Amino acid sequence: MLSSKIEELLNTQIEKEGYSSLLYLAMASWAEAQGYPGISQWLYAQADEEKMHMHEFIHYVNDRGGKAVIPGFKKPPAEYNSITQMFDDVMSHEQFISASINDIVALCVEEKEYTTQNWLQGFVAEQIEEEASVQEILDKLKLVGDHNMYMFDRDIMSMRTTDSDTKE
Ligand code: OFO
């Protein structure tokens, strides 16, 4: 059985994972409209993953005797100044999510709620992977600058294919 404090934080995380999904969906749509099929493919896949994370939190709360609440979501930005700015935003958002998951882990340790702490380890590891993958994209973007976006778009397309081939 979850304590009310942990249940509340897990419910907050449901909102954050759902918003992550909408944020990446909005970015995917923007990139697609700008003519970047590779970048949008990466972001659409990312949006799907975040939706799955939201579902995992929902199931976990309900399975542990809590009540998952499906929130309303704020509207994500519809416009971006550049691909690099957009991926900078992805990185800031992922760092925010990592900090948020760490806060739940910290509360679990404080409350000696080791079952939830253990369950969250998958997300802790996932955040390391996600931040590394976004950092790789930002490093590549620094190399290509504003030139050769066409090649970068092709490159990120294969990155996502490789990612999902090796995951799950
Ligand atoms: Fe960034 O992946 Fe969800 O938690």
Q: What is the spatial distance between Cα 147 and Cα 149, in angstroms, rounded to a whole number? A: 6
Q: Looking at the CA of residue 101, tell me the nearest atom of ligand 1.
A: 4
What is the pLDDT, as a whole number, of residue 166?
A: 44
- Which of 9, 20, 89 to mutate to test ligand 1, by most ligand atoms within 8 A of the CB atom? 20
Residue at token pair 């999510």: 97
Ligand 1 close to Cβ of residue 20 (< 6 A)? yes
- Break the chain into its structural domains and give their ranges: 4-161
Q: What is the spatial distance between Cα 79 and Cα 39, in angstroms, rounded to a whole number? A: 15
Alpha-carbon separation of residue 53 from 79, 103, 158, 168 (angstroms): 25, 17, 23, 13
Residue 148's pLDDT band, with cuts at 50, 70 and 90, is: confident
Ligand 1 close to Cβ of residue 13 (< 6 A)? no
Q: CATH fold of 4-161, please?
A: Ferritin (1.20.1260)
What pLDDT, in 10s, does the model give residues 14-48?
999 999 999 999 999 999 999 999 999 999 999 99
Among 87, 18, 81, smallest CA distance to 47 is for 18
What is the pLDDT, as a whole number, of residue 71?
A: 96
What pLDDT, in 10s, does the model give residues 60-105?
999 999 999 999 999 999 999 999 999 999 999 999 999 999 999 9
